[in-house]
Structure formats: C-alpha cells, structure tokens
Chains A and B, each alone.
Chain A
Amino acid sequence: MLHVAPSPAVAGNRHRRQMLLPWLDAEGQRRIRESTVLISRVGGLGGPLAQSLAVAGVGRIVLFHEGALLDEDLHRMVLMHPERVGEPRGSQAAETLRRLGGPHLEVHGFDHRITEDEATRWMREADIAVGAAPTYEERLLLNDAALAAGKPFVDAAMYDDETHVLCVDAGKSGCLRCLVPEPPPWRADFPVLAAVSAMVGNLAASLALRILAGAGPIPWGELVHFDAARIELTRVRVPRSAGCPACAAAERTSR
C-alpha cells in the first residue's frame, strides 16, 4: 500500500523538507528567516541564486540590477518577464522574487548599479553580501563594503564553462581584493549558457544559506574554481595579503 506523507499542504510547512537536512534545524531556519541579504545583479548567475534564497525562506533581499531587459537576456535571466522587454530589470526581478518567496519575504529592488554609499548603508543592516556582477569593479565594491561592516561576503562569477565561488570571512580569511588587487583588463561579451551560470549561482546560494544558518563546512578563503567542460574542480587557498585595505578595514571593525 502506498504511504502518503501527512499534511504537506498545511500552511507553515513550506520549509519542512529542507529542515530534514542534518545541518538545518529550527534555529538555523529561524536565522535564515530573520536575515537580510544584499545582492548585486540578478541576471544569469544572480537570478537563480536569488531565487534559491527566496524559496529557502530568507526574510529580506535587497537587490540592484541596472539596465533595461533585452531579448538576448531571456535565455538565462530567469527572474525576468519575457513580455517586459525594454523595461527595467531590477524591479521585475524583485516582483518575481516576491511571488516565489510569499508573504514572509520582503524585497527591495533597485534599477541601477549599486553605489559605494548604498553598499555601505545597506551593509549596516544586511547579514551577508553576495556578488553576482559581471565586472570586477562592482564585485570589489561589494567585497569592500561587506568587509568594512565586518560581515561575510560570497563572490560568484563565470565565463563560458569556467566558474568560481569565494567565501570571505571578514578579517579572518583572504578576500577578493587579496586575490585580485586590481581588475583584469580583459573585457569581453562573455559567452554564457544558463545551465552553467545557474549552477554556480546555486552553489553560491547553498553556501550563503549555510553561512546564514550558522552551519558548515564553509570553504572560507578558498577560491572554488569549476570548469564545466573539463569537469575539473580546483580549490585554491587565498592567503590574506598584508597590504589589503579591505582586510585592514575588517580588522578595524572587529576591534
């Protein structure tokens, strides 16, 4: 006889199945629900990332994404609305997240690129910053704001089949600026398959949720590089750089 699990439709049961995970108990889920996540860009990588945070029960998401939706975005930007090409992207992504997250999720969506002042201001309230922007300038801005606030930072990026994630423990592990003191000069219209950008976005989301829940293990200060064509994973320890201004700011905050 088929066994039917009890009461899957009862309100308040939404996160029951993820709470079967050994690392996620009621206390961890409460921490996730009470958390605020600042995320820059919700495109091919940040969109699936934010989607996973929303359905996992994060309480507040603050997102920034500049520019109007293009037809060529639709093959990867899953939070956008195909009938709204030409309209700003941040606010339509925010709408999708509100629908997915339900009434307990508060979303602030902005249709411009995050500024240094905004990052500093939001990091006073946020529990974590997540960088999913295509440029190093924007990712380093978020790295610096998170570290200055003494908060964790998760950076995720991809190019073609190459992906990377870095989790930064402010003032304790190496950071993105320790690793890449200045942005690489190579610019390109990056080739992207949604299956690959969503994969690394979801790896970053999984790590961000574990950090929020106070669970582990977290590969702090390790660049996790995965090549989806070679099926090759490389982990690189990032030493703290003595002259890194972002890490120095994190140390001043923690004192």
Chain B
Amino acid sequence: MTVRFELTTRLAELAGLAEPSIELDTPSSLPEALRALITRIGDAAAPLAPGGSLHPSILVVVDGLAHPPAHRDVTLRPGQTVRLMLPVAGG
C-alpha cells in the first residue's frame, strides 16, 4: 500500500529530507509503516528513532487524530496520510 507521510518543517530538517512529504510502499499497519519510514530516513533517523522506534515525543497524527505511542496499533486505509510533528519548543 502507498502511504503518504507529511513532516512538519523542523522535523523534516532533522530527518535530512529535502521535501516535507514522502510516499512509500509499506504494509498497512501503522507501526510497520513507521518502521519503513525510519529505514528510508537512514542514518539521520538515529536521534529521532533511538533503538529503531520513533521517539515518544514525536507526534503521529492520522486523519487529524494524535496517536500517542500506546495507541499506534492500528491499520491504515488507502488514501490516509500520516503526519509527523515535532512538538515546538520556544517562546
């Protein structure tokens, strides 16, 4: 299944991606889709995904609903976009 990921600006910078969105062929389970993205990002993912799984402070949003780490065991439907956001800190 093709999954479209969209990253907020700062997160895309940290991930070393030139574009803030990326499409990947992945399995439909959200955890597996996230693993495919981490693999695609490669070395730059090390601080974002220590131990191979996404850092708990990175927000995962599907169809406008935040999926905290304990609520990610879901199956994506075709056409859904996974949005990844780094919580902003500054004032």
Interface residues of A (CB under 8 A from B): 41, 43-46, 132-136, 156-164, 174, 178-186, 190, 192, 197, 201, 223, 225, 227, 229-230, 234-239, 241-243
Q: How far is the CA of A229 from the CA of B86 in the complex (A)?
A: 16
Contact among B58, B64, B68, B90 for A192, CB-based, below 8 A = B90
Q: Besides A45-B91, A159-B90, A184-B87, 20 other CB < 8 A contacts?
A: A46-B91, A136-B87, A157-B87, A157-B90, A159-B88, A160-B90, A162-B9, A162-B10, A164-B88, A179-B59, A180-B59, A181-B57, A183-B57, A183-B89, A223-B59, A227-B9, A234-B61, A236-B59, A239-B66, A242-B70
A214–B64 alpha-carbon span in the complex (Å): 27
Chain A residues, CB < 8 A from B55: 184-185
Inter-chain contact B61/A44, CB cutoff 8 Å: no
Q: Report the minimum CB–CB distance from B91 to chain A (whole Å).
A: 4
Total B residues in contact with A, Cβ cutoff 8 Å:
26
What is the CB-to-nearest-CB distance from A183 to chain B, in angstroms, rounded to a whole number?
7
With both beta carbons as reference points, the residue of chain B lying nearest to A196 in the complex is identified as B90
Whether A184 lies near B91 (C-beta < 8 A) is no
The docked-state distance in angstroms from the alpha carbon of A157 to that of B56 is: 19
**Residue among B58, B68, B69, B89 facing the most chain A CB atoms (10 A cut-off):** B89
Chain A nearest CB from B27 CB (Å) reads 24
Given A225-B85, A237-B66, A134–B10 Cβ distance below 8 Å? no
| Given A134-B91, A156-B91, A236-B64: A184 in contact with B57 (beta carbons within 8 A) | yes
Partner of B66 from A135, A186, A238 at Cβ < 8 Å: A238
Whether the pair B64, A237 counts as a contact (CB closer than 8 A) is yes
In the assembled complex, the Cα of A134 lies from the Cα of B56 at a distance in Å of: 19
- Check B65 against A162 for contact (C-beta < 8 Å): no
B50's nearest neighbour on chain A, judged by CB, is A185
Which residues of chain B from 35 to 85 have a CB within 8 Å of any chain A CB?
Answer: 47, 55-59, 61, 64-66, 68-71, 83, 85
Q: Are A41 and B68 in contact (CB under 8 A)?
A: no
